[in-house]
Chain A
Amino acid sequence: MQKRLLIFFAFFTLLCTCVRAQTTISGTVTDGTDALIGVSVRAIGTTSGTITDIDGKYSLSVPEGTEALGFTYLGYREIKEQIAGRTQVDILMSEATETLNEVVVVGYGIQQKSDLTGAVAVVDAQELMDIPTQNLGQALQGKVSGLQIIPTSGAPGAGAIFRIRGVGTFGDASPLFVVDGMILSDIDFINPADVANVSVLKDASATAIYGARGANGVLIITTKQGTGGGDGQVSVSAYTGTQEVSRRLDLLNATEYATIVNEIDANSGRAPRYADPESLGEGTDWQDLIFQTAPISSVQLSFQGGGDKGGFNLSTNYFSQQGIIDGSGFDRLTVRLNTSRSIKSWLRVGLNSSFIYSKSDNQNAGGILQGAYRADPITEPRDSLGNFGDTSLRGNSGNPLATQFYNYNKGQDYRGVGSAYLEADFLKHFTFRSNFGLDFSAGFNRRFSPVFFVSAAQQNEINDLNLTSSYQRNWLWENTVDYSNDFGLHHVDGLVGITYQDQFGEFVSGGRQRIQGSDPSLLYLGLGDQMTATNGNGINGGTFGVESFLGRVNYNYDGRYLLTVSARSDGSSRFGANFRRGFFPSVGLGWNISREGFWDGGELFSRMKIRSSYGVTGNDRIGQDRFTALVNSGLNAVFGSDEALNIGQTLQALANPNLRWEETTQFDFGIEMGFLSNRLLVDVDFFDKVTDGLLYRAPIPDYIGATEPFQNIAKVVNRGVELNINWRETAGKFSYSIGGNATFLDNEILSIDGEGGEFFDGGFGIGGVNSTRGVKGYPIGGFYGYELDGVFQNEDELGTFPQLGQQVIGDLRFRDRNGDGEVTAADRTLLGSPIPDLIIGVNGSIRYAGVDLNFGLTGQFGNEILNAKRASRFGTYNQETFFLDRFNGEGSSNTGPLATLAGQNVETVSSRYIESGNYIRLRSLQLGYTLPADISQKIRMQRFRVYVNGTNLLTSQEYSGYNPEVYPGGQFSSGIDRGTLYPVSRIVTFGLDASF
């Protein structure tokens, strides 16, 4: 085989020689010990190039007059080597451990980190693999300054929310995700073990090439390509472990509950219900019953191979996670095949593809959690016959165990994401690239409510089956032409491109009642009563099209002076004809000062670079058809002696034909410094990001009678400082590194356009009272309400202090902030912000011989949480021990109200329900051991490592709820905890990695 390849090569080389006078240069590329496979070798100033084979060897025909060869390899320093008449050029590449000269993936290309003018952070596979994680979001938490990661919930398989440099929109503030060139709306499906590296594009110089969708930043994910030496490589990674709820709420026990209910009775003029609360003891601990210790495991098998013409990476992964709430679970099977091939000396093709099957059970835990909070602790979970206890009798709440037991909500998802590309070199310095990507997903969901009876309030008379089948497809076609050339010390490269994207999806649903049984094998529509059949159909996941033209020019002089200019023009179907196109330019400048002749920092101050950028990006994420008024169907009426259903439809939501893009103008200034021969690296970035024309469905008064339209309504600034400090030291067998990052952020609404310049949102509590206010000077989603000043202790105080409405002794007393002698709506104020002022991450690792210890800390400070689940009045629901602090006669409490059904203003938004969101968490702690190379080779292994890992082992938090990371939905209900979010778990796993 090898021989035949050689013959082919010789022939091919000969063929080329016929065309033009050429010289062949060959050599070996190593890192000093091992051959490097897949190193890109090019003749500088020409289109000739190749990659090294499995032995690190290359052979390249270069046109006459070629002076130098360039060698690039991800994670290694780029080398430009003068040929100087040689035909054998061997190269020693060194790992870019200090990450200065490494090659960084940027939008539509790669660049040397030292040549960047933009703020781009890179996380490589090594850092991602530090801890076994269920999704990429978790793996990235705390790793990158300016990137905030929030788990959507602790449910099995749940994804993460990403925020780059704060929140610059009232809508979806997620960054754009680009996976191997494919633009996607989520990356929850990605198996973290398949990821080679992640680039986080933060400033306009880096993101403007993504134009209309770059305003929230961009995450570029590159998956592992085929490499491997010798006969290729087989790797196995596996872990297994257990999870448990990391924290419990402090709820009232049976005695405390009965004591409070008795007090409510007494204060409401009724006879106390419980003769002897003490006799009830602790009672039922519902949290104990709904939570369980649950297993989690993952097995990954991958095959990598490569050669001089290309390589492949085939990986398979099975991930299984049961939930800490019984009955919930998630299983995922992933297959990935990445392959590339040189077809001609000027033509390369490749395919990156992944196929995912996942199944999720009962992720809807909101009702169970609410039940566990509210159900009274006196009722037994089950009676002596095994029937569920009726918690509706005392507490007017469902029995959470029954809710859990009768829950049946199962989903299956199939997804294929892939992109095929072709690269052709032409003329002397040009490369044409065409990339076609497809993301196809199909889902199937089955929900069933069996017949059951727990109590009148918790029962189902007729069983009910509902199925939903949906699909979504999204294709992207990108065509770009690259140019790259050096003129002496001047380097110029550039890119122009044209891209199209199209997304569409649809669902069909159906339901029937009276299914002939509740066994899963019978849950099919055909076994239901045809008379009860319902069905539905509509758009799934939105439909839109984007057409774009893009271009970029990079210029640098001797690697010292850097300039990047980029622009993109986007057209989006999400806007009306008049506002469809947007233009997004940017410029970036950089100066590698330490490369100047005059720089004399020595080893101590070994590196200094400054850079700055300015540019405009956009955001169009508002869903489809927002500029068109749509008629709602299904508003039917009954008429006639035969009671027939008459079709009714009309407009219910207003539309706005004048919608346009959100535009973000961002200024960035960065300093990159290296000390002590770059063992200590310090990067600082200052940014100022102003977003104008924020799209939002700002609430309008109910008397308008229709749902509010989207409007370009506001202007917001996110300004801040990002700081990264990394220290690495190696001394023989001992090495360690520690890195810290911090993001200081200030988020502020600069103006609200339109009528009045403010709006209210964040429906809260029983009355749906607005709890957030959008107004100039507030952060996005700032909590708005009264300041608690005390509790009315006596008649005197009722006379002395102003009241909110008609208040009585024992009611909460609010501060008259403006001092006008009354408490009115005007006395409300900003109570807190859901956006942290400071986010930190600390990551460290220590290695000695084969033993390694890694840890990661994350934390956030300066944000508040509105604990909405506490904003209920005393009643017969159970409560937290927080409610033990109550007024019960003068002097008893000046912070909690009287336990009564009639008390005023208990549900009013006030500082009573605001808590600090500060926390610091030991995200991960891992101890590993790698067999010494000589031993592992004896058992024919290249590498063998075992580890034990703990995730979320310790959290220091001020918040009383399960988790201080509370982001249930929109920006104006951020940080509002209604007690329905699946709690996060503490996970301990044992794992091994082996390759041979």
Chain B
Amino acid sequence: MKYGIVALILSLSLLMGCSDVLERTPQGSITLENFFKDGEQAEQSINAVYNQLRSFQVHVFPFIGMTDIVSDDAEKGSVPGDANYLQELDEFTHGPSNNGPTGVWAGYYDGIFRANLAIERIPTVPEMDEDLRARLIAEARFLRGHYYFNLVRWFGDVVLITTPFPETNLMARAPLEDVYAQIISDLEFAASVLPEKSEYAAKDLGRATSGAAKSLLAKVALTRGEFANAANLAEEVINSNEYALLPTYQGIFTQAGENASESIFEVQAAAYETGGGGTQYNEVQGVRGATNLGWGFNRPSDDLIGAFELGDPRREATILYVGEILPDGSNVVQPNPDIVNPRFNQKAFVVDHPGGNGNGPGNIRIFRYADLILIASEALNETGRQAEALVYLNQIRARARGTSTRFLPDVTTTDQGQLRAAILRERRVELAMEQHRWFDLVRTNRAASVMKALGKNFVEGKHELFPIPQGDIELSLGLLEQNPGYVQ
């Protein structure tokens, strides 16, 4: 009897050994091994690259600090002491641990990782529609190009990674030329493979297009001073007739203006009841206080106000003043004693929507047609084709003035220098508070003169570039070198 019990339990116990106590299939997650198995998963991997565009780091808080607030267009806003790192950017006292550069650096490389993985794995997905395969890879390369283009403009030489799993984590910065070569290669590939905006199905509205890739190439060329190239690329897009200026300037920043004819590329956002589709872009720039429950950052500067020509209706469309009725008529902007002379970015205003302001529905306008027309104008002027440049410039002014005959007359000068100044001023007011100004100042070598004229603590040869994040310098064990002038 007793041996029976002992033997029974012992043999049961040994039998357990044949079972699968040690075998565990990961629960509730697909493994990388089982991913990239069909077209649907390939598309999901690309959607995840787009997903990163909505992140706080990539196109919201640090991003606004590194584009508008740092420039002459805007001040930090909000109440003193709030998000002091943005104040440091505004005053050029930021160091290598400032949340602005460290934030975008981490956020953009996260997007690059997702793109790299898709670019590496989608070619090996068994049995999927070949057109879709090509398109998805091209979308990933477009987005990688976009990510690197902002990085290179902020930091100069950056770490260039084009594979998801590099052999070593220790890397140095790649020369600017190599980074640009990669950006151009990515964008050219995207331009040649992606459909035009009109060729996409309605359900895919908002995906990267051939026109967007060419437009970005034009901006890359302009940034690098390749004006003939920039002009050709811009005119190629213009002549594709895929895009047109909206009839009114104010219309661009409304719900109806999203993905409209003027839109070349936008970060797509939507406010669902359950969340998960919005951004905080609208919240951080929203009117601070009970009126709009925004945070009130990115205050349009006095200098920006002064940059608008008398009567330019774009000023009203760009800036929300205290006492002004909100664009949707829902309320009046209230004074706020804690903010010094409050005013807000009207282009980031959105009408009431589900889920509160943290669930912002506004698409973030990355590239609009007006930007491209001004690129064409600038590039043509630089290549001595003033007459053509004037046509483009005056298209922008004409739309802005609408039916008015008193303001914003056509520019007529054919003097290259005067015209250049006119085009750059037009860029500033047309694209104000849309996060382009800083890049324009730096690429035209005016950052030092403009910022110093405003009494900023700008150091020439230093502040044109942002510091490489101190954390990564340490984690790279010093292989990553700091930009000139920055010390931790």
Q: Which A residues contact B (CB, under 8 angstroms)?
A: 268, 270, 344, 346-347, 393, 396, 422, 424-426, 432, 434, 456, 459, 461-462, 477, 479, 498, 500-502, 513, 529, 531-534, 537-539, 543-547, 571-573, 580, 624-625, 628-652, 654-655, 699-706, 755-756, 758-760, 766-770, 804-806, 822-825, 873, 875-877, 901-902, 904-905, 907-908
Contacts and interface: CB of A to CB of B under 8 A. Distances in A.
Given A573-B22, A641-B202, A760 B471 contact: yes
A701 B470 CA distance: 10
B73 to A, nearest CB: 21
B383 interface: no
B44 interface: yes
A769 B96 CA distance: 10
Nearest to B91: A902
B196 to A, nearest CB: 16
A858 B130 CA distance: 71
B277 A805 contact: no
B32 A767 contact: no
Interface string B78-91: 01111011011001
A645 B272 contact: yes
B61 to A, nearest CB: 13
Given A637-B51, A650-B118, A703-B472, A767 B170 contact: no
B17 A547 contact: yes
B403 interface: no
A575 B132 CA distance: 38
B65 to A, nearest CB: 13
Residue among A346, A537, A546, A637 having the largest count of chain B Cβ atoms under 10 Å: A637
Given A432-B6, A573-B21, A633 B29 contact: yes
Given A637-B51, A650-B114, A539 B87 contact: no
A573 B19 CA distance: 13
Contacts of A432: 6, 9-10
Contact of A637 (B48, B159, B168, B355): B48
Contact of A766 (B23, B52, B99): B99
A546 B45 CA distance: 35
A640 B201 CA distance: 8
B21 A647 contact: no
B349 interface: no
* Top 8 A-B pairs, shortest CB-CB distance: A705-B113, A648-B47, A629-B32, A875-B81, A545-B21, A650-B48, A635-B48, A637-B50
A651 B10 contact: no
A796 B332 CA distance: 53
A396 B82 contact: yes
Interface string B156-200: 001101001110111100000000000000000000000000000
A649 B48 contact: yes
A646 B16 CA distance: 45
Nearest to A759: B475
Given A631-B29, A702-B475, A825-B473, 18 more contacts: A347-B2, A477-B16, A498-B13, A538-B27, A547-B17, A643-B268, A645-B270, A645-B276, A649-B47, A700-B169, A702-B110, A703-B109, A703-B161, A706-B113, A759-B475, A767-B98, A825-B474, A901-B87
A902 B93 CA distance: 8
Nearest to A770: B471
B129 interface: no
Nearest to A784: B474
B22 A755 contact: no
11 contacts: A498-B17, A501-B21, A534-B274, A545-B21, A639-B268, A643-B270, A647-B47, A650-B117, A651-B164, A703-B109, A876-B80
Given A529-B273, A547-B21, A756 B477 contact: yes
Nearest to B338: A393
A624 B91 CA distance: 47
Contacts of A501: 21
B333 interface: no
Contacts, number: 302
B454 to A, nearest CB: 15
B95 interface: yes
A638 B364 CA distance: 12
B487 A805 contact: yes
Given A648-B48, A766-B99, A902-B93, A543 B27 contact: yes
Given A498-B17, A645-B276, A755-B477, A702 B472 contact: yes
B45 A502 contact: no
B390 interface: no
B44 A650 contact: yes
Contacts of A875: 80-81, 84
B79 A806 contact: no
Given A456-B293, A755-B170, A770-B474, A631 B288 contact: no
B112 interface: yes
Contacts of B277: 636, 638, 643, 645
Contacts of B109: 702-705
B293 A459 contact: yes
Interface string B390-423: 0000000000000000000000000000000000
Interface size, B (range): 35 or more
Nearest to B165: A654
Given A755-B168, A767-B85, A768-B102, A539 B22 contact: no
A634 B28 CA distance: 12
Contacts of B2: 344, 346-347, 424-426
Interface stretch (B204-212, B302-310, B322-330, B443-451): B204-212
A543 B10 contact: no
B132 to A, nearest CB: 14
A873 B207 CA distance: 43
B375 to A, nearest CB: 26
Interface in B53-68: 54
A498 B259 CA distance: 66
B24 A573 contact: yes
A651 B30 CA distance: 10
Contact of B470 (A699, A769, A823): A769
Nearest to A907: B97
Contacts of B338: 393
Contacts of B23: 545, 573
A461 B292 CA distance: 12
Given A645-B270, A649-B48, A703-B159, A630 B289 contact: no
Residue among B118, B472, B487 having the largest count of chain A Cβ atoms under 10 Å: B487
A502 B23 CA distance: 11
Contacts of B480: 701
Contact of B44 (A461, A643, A649, A759): A649
B470 A825 contact: yes
B81 A825 contact: no
Given A532-B273, A533-B274, A703-B171, A544 B24 contact: yes
Contacts of B10: 432, 479
Contact of B97 (A396, A702, A769): A769
B44 A648 contact: yes
Given A479-B13, A531-B273, A637-B50, A755 B259 contact: no
A646 B81 CA distance: 39
A822 B482 CA distance: 16
B3 A426 contact: yes
B432 interface: no
A641 B474 contact: no
Contact of A539 (B3, B27, B355): B27
Contact of A705 (B97, B114, B474): B114
A723 to B, nearest CB: 40
Contacts of B259: 641
A768 B205 CA distance: 38
Nearest to A497: B13
A647 B44 contact: yes
A532 B354 CA distance: 9
A646 B168 CA distance: 34
Contacts of A500: 13, 16, 21
Contact of A758 (B54, B270, B272, B477): B477
Nearest to A425: B2
